[in-house]
Structure 1
């Protein structure tokens, strides 16, 4: 990885939100340099400059210049504002270019698996980053994993990955695999237990009610014809002939 030059300035005020806000208000980012046999040194760097460095990734190799000092460092910790995502603090770790160090690098999948393209399978990307061991000058930006030849049921493990640096993860860990797509089963809702069926009312109910014979001893409604076989009501004062 190419080394990037970054200039820093000594930072006198440290600690507290007020000190951090003061530095950020100047368009700078507060930081600290530590590691090795030297004491930690509080510094601040130009915000726009460090934003450009972060585009190289978390493992950017930096030559940091501050005062009369010039040191090889990497960015160990990046603190960001929880709302704005603005960088509000950095930790620079001193390193020696002749020592192998541990880093984390992004895993990039290359190609479209045959099992997805032609067989309707689904790709499962299990490992998103690798732990590696290498010289600081050999840090890759990412490690590519070719997946075009995978069919349904195939997988790639850590031991199968070809890389110029040493991957220290468990060799048996699955990096990526292709599995058969699961069919979605739509369940038919069941009727609630004990639910009663709606009562059906006959349309002729009203007609039957109107044509029904009156109960014994009851007079028929005015204007209504007596039921078949019923004797007409005798009027008072009318004698039988």
Structure 2
């Protein structure tokens, strides 16, 4: 395990305004829970850490740090990090003093590695159901993450917690039958059948638009129509009607 050393200084309890001034000067306010080694475990110490030094050490998850405050040195674990919700700048850090001979319960990220066979060859969908698990281990055995290979998964298959590879010195604190990841078939949306005749809607009657013919035009059209055709004028009769 890499030995990461972080230096800090004690500070006093001040107002939020003073804490903002502290941050502007390059320091991040922090708290050491559990006090120094050999002291009462319920004693908390207010400290401050240089932001540049802190940025270099918070990248590794569950890393055990050697925190030096004055002449005192303690093994600590970063318990919580507070950031600005907009700028993501560091605001506050909580450190927890740990004993290198006592096991800790911590949460560890669970990463899926490889490309599932059911996804690559059959177009299935990989579901990552559990992304973080609780473990029990000594500080020196704490992993930064746990990897689970899913390359052999086919559609309809999954991996249980019991199939996570064993790690020396690490005990998994979850139900061995809990499903961690699986591959499901892609969802196909079926078209709703249409009622007979609904697909071919009746075409609307088209009514031609145009100006109404004048009386002279209508008379001319009637005159040019051949006898017997629609629109032809009725033939004139001459002579004396039969009695």
TM-score (normalizing by structure 1): 0.79
Q: Which runs of 5+ in 1 are unaligned?
A: 213-220, 233-241
Equivalence for 1:25? 24
Equivalence for 2:50? 46
* Cα deviation, residue 205, structure 1: 11
**Does 1:170 pair with 2:214?**
no
CA shift digits 1:2-29 (9 cap, x unpaired): 23110001112x2432121011011111
- Asked if structure 1 preserves the Cα contact closer than 8 Å seen for 2:222 and 2:233, the reply is no
Map 1:72-221 onto structure 2 (within 5 A).
72-164=75-167, 165-185=170-190, 198-201=204-207
1:150 and 1:223, CA in 2 relative to 1: closer, same or farther beyond 3 A?
closer
Equivalence for 1:64? 67
Whole-Å Cα distance in 2 between the matches of residues 116 and 210 of structure 1?
80
TM-score (normalizing by structure 2): 0.78
Alignment match of 1:228 (pick from 203, 214, 234):
234
Whole-Å Cα distance in 2 between the matches of residues 168 and 114 of structure 1?
29
**Does 1:55 pair with 2:59?**
yes
SS in structure 2 at match of 1:50? helix
Whole-Å Cα distance in 1 between the matches of residues 233 and 160 of structure 2?
96
Runs of 4+ aligned residues of structure 1 deviating over 3 Å after TM superposition are: 184-190, 195-199, 202-207, 209-212, 221-227, 229-232
SS in structure 1 at match of 2:109? strand
1:27 and 1:210, CA in 2 relative to 1: closer, same or farther beyond 3 A?
farther
CA shift digits 1:107-162 (9 cap, x unpaired): 12121111111121111111111110000110111111011111111100101111
SS in structure 1 at match of 2:53? helix
* Cα deviation, residue 61, structure 1: 0.4
- Asked if structure 2 preserves the Cα contact closer than 8 Å seen for 1:107 and 1:127, the reply is yes
Whole-Å Cα distance in 1 between the matches of residues 177 and 221 of structure 2?
100
Whole-Å Cα distance in 2 between the matches of residues 141 and 129 of structure 1?
11
SS in structure 2 at match of 1:145? strand
- Asked if structure 2 preserves the Cα contact closer than 8 Å seen for 1:143 and 1:163, the reply is no
Whole-Å Cα distance in 2 between the matches of residues 173 and 46 of structure 1?
42
- Asked if structure 2 preserves the Cα contact closer than 8 Å seen for 1:2 and 1:137, the reply is no
Whole-Å Cα distance in 2 between the matches of residues 15 and 186 of structure 1?
66
* Cα deviation, residue 227, structure 1: 3.5
Equivalence for 1:216? none
* Cα deviation, residue 68, structure 1: 2.3
RMSD: 3.3
* Cα deviation, residue 202, structure 1: 5.5
